[in-house]
Amino acid sequence: MRLVGPETAAEREVREWFEYQRRTNLERLEAGAQTLIQLITGVYGVLFAVLALSDQPVYLSRSVVVWMGSIGLVVFFAALIAAVMVVIPRPLRYQLDNLTEMQHTYERLVRRKATMLVVAQLGFVLGIACLIAVILAVLWQW
């Protein structure tokens, strides 16, 4: 940290970049959650297509397909709920004339949205792993 002298152009650029990141943090979190919601609903369709065929082939009774399919459905649904929690607006309570309280409220909001987005991402990855296991079990007849 520089203690004396005016701010250099490079220092100002770094400070402005971090300020921009802080200002756009909520929008990026919500955009990430919306992308996950779209991906999850699309992958849900693929998983249902593999699991819910009308003629009920033999592979649907295999334990790997039943367990991984069931776990995948539950995990995708949990990830979908977590991603929706990021984008659903909630009322914020704070004093309009108290900047410290406003800053703490903002930090709690960002922390909650970031945590829910991480939960949604982990659920999405686990759901994809289950989907891959189901597809491999069907293809390789496990």
Token pair for 125? 């990855």
Token pair for 77? 């649904």
Query: Whole-angstrom Cα distance, residue 142 to residue 139?
Result: 8
Domain ranges across the chain: 29-140
- Which position has the token pair 């220092």? 11
pTM of the model: 0.73
**Could you report how far apart the first and last alpha carbons of the chain are, in Å?**
60
- CA dist 45 → 2, 30, 41, 54 (Å): 55, 23, 7, 15
Q: What is the pLDDT of residues 44-78, one digit of tens each?
A: 888 777 777 556 677 777 888 889 989 998 999 99
Token pair for 60? 């649907």
Q: Could you tell me what percent of the chain has a pLDDT over 90?
A: 32
